């Protein structure tokens, strides 16, 4: 005779959800929350917790059309939205397989769900992001990885916890086979590198990596405040400032001046080479330099000026 395990009591499930919510960073109850819903366990848990947090939840599923059965994921996502009685919208984007597929798919998702949408990134995603950026030679800002807040409210939760919640709620979730595709660097990090690091360290490195990202983020806040006290248009002052603060001041200046606020998804800070060119102008090694996207910095009477020689679009 086989005895089936007893299902958790509703009160126990409610207590479990309350404990998870205490570690989340959702906005205030009643806030409109557009949730990116892939249909996988992380995004399904995001929706469940957003509903439990009394947000005004709407969901958006993005079908990249990269698999013949991608419509199945949309159907599962629709079922999750129906389960919680929240609005559902499916957006179809056209992507061709090939180079930079991950970044192109990410950009397409962001455009489809809109600015300010909630995503189901977890602590495991945070650890992967830190390591991926380390491989690109990122500095403190990059290694601080993703910031917790209303748009990434479950960043403190582990992937095992989102899966467990879906099981407790008896949710049918999608299993995207591209999540194990070794062509993608994040998958290699998830399935090969982090397990190896766990073995080498003989402990869970995700907890260590997320702690490091938090410490770096706190340092970044302080350094940003100190850099904001510099006047990036004062060539002498910029050249005399501590180099880390001078670099940061230049990045802040270029980013705040050149970015179109109507398109915040494209807020990319200038690269290291661009910053160094501007500092060379501040030191007097050059009278001017290009900083990209049609913008230029020039020095006149020890003042720096950032301008666009030709009208920019938009």
Question: For 237-266, how does the pLDDT look when each residue is reduced to its tens digit (9 = 90+)?
Answer: 999 999 999 999 999 999 999 875 444 444
What are the pLDDT digits (tens) for 45-85? 999 999 999 999 999 999 876 667 777 899 999 999 999 99
Q: Which range of residues forms the domain containing residue 252?
A: 229-307
Same domain for 25 and 169, yes or no, is: yes
Q: Tell me how far apart the alpha carbons of residues 222 and 216 are, in angstroms, rounded to a whole number.
A: 10
Say if residue 139 is exposed, middle or buried (CB neighbours under 10 Å; 0-12, 13-18, 19+): middle
Same domain for 174 and 241, yes or no, is: no
Same domain for 37 and 117, yes or no, is: yes
155 located within any domain? yes
Q: Tell me how far apart the alpha carbons of residues 279 and 291 are, in angstroms, rounded to a whole number.
A: 11
303-307, strands of its sheet edge to edge:
288-292, 295-300, 303-307
- What pTM value is reported for the model? 0.84
Tell me what pLDDT residue 311 has.
61
> What is the pLDDT tens value at each position of the chain, 314 positions in all?
455 555 678 889 999 999 999 999 999 999 999 999 999 999 999 999 999 999 999 999 998 766 677 778 999 999 999 999 999 999 887 766 666 777 777 777 888 888 899 999 999 999 999 999 999 988 888 999 999 999 999 999 999 999 999 999 999 999 878 788 888 899 999 999 999 999 999 999 999 999 999 999 999 999 999 999 999 999 999 999 999 999 999 999 999 998 754 444 445 788 999 999 999 999 999 999 999 888 999 999 999 999 987 765 54
Same domain for 174 and 303, yes or no, is: no
The CA–CA distances, whole Å, from 56 to 31, 37, 91, 114 equal 6, 15, 20, 16
289 located within any domain? yes
Same domain for 19 and 98, yes or no, is: yes
Tell me what pLDDT residue 264 has.
44
CA 12 to chain centre: 32
Same domain for 154 and 21, yes or no, is: yes
Give the number of domains in the chain.
Answer: 2
Tell me what pLDDT residue 4 has.
55
209 located within any domain? no
Same domain for 171 and 237, yes or no, is: no
The CATH number for 234's domain is 3.30.465
Same domain for 27 and 171, yes or no, is: yes
């Amino acid at each position: 005779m086989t005895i089936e395990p007893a299902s958790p009591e509703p009160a126990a499930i409610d207590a479990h959800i309350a404990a998870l919510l205490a570690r989340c960073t959702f906005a205030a109850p009643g806030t409109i929350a557009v949730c990116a819903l892939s249909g996988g366990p992380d995004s399904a848990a995001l929706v469940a917790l957003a509903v439990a947090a009394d947000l005004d939840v709407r969901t958006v599923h993005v079908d990249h059309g990269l698999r013949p059965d991608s419509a199945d994921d949309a159907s599962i996502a629709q079922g999750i939205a129906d389960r919680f009685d929240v609005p559902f919208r499916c957006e179809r984007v056209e992507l061709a397989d090939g180079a930079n597929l991950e970044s192109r798919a990410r950009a397409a998702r962001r455009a489809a769900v809109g600015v300010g949408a909630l995503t189901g990134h977890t602590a495991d995603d945070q650890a992967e992001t830190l390591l991926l950026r380390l491989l690109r030679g990122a500095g403190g800002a990059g290694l601080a990885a993703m910031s917790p807040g209303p748009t990434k409210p479950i960043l403190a939760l582990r992937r095992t916890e989102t899966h467990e919640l879906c099981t407790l709620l008896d949710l049918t979730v999608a299993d995207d086979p591209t999540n194990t595709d070794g062509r993608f660097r994040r998958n290699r990090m998830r399935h090969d590198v982090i397990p190896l690091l766990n073995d080498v360290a003989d402990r869970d490195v995700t907890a260590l990596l997320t702690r490091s990202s938090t410490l770096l983020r706190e340092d970044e806040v302080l350094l940003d405040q100190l850099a904001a006290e510099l006047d990036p248009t004062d060539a002498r002052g910029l050249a005399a400032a501590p180099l880390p603060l001078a670099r940061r001041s230049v990045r802040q200046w270029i980013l705040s001046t050149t970015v179109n606020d109507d398109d915040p998804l494209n807020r990319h800070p200038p690269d290291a080479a661009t910053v160094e060119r501007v500092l060379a102008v501040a030191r007097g090694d050059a009278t001017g330099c290009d900083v990209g996207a049609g913008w230029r910095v020039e020095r006149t009477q020890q003042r720096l000026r950032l301008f666009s020689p030709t009208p920019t679009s938009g």
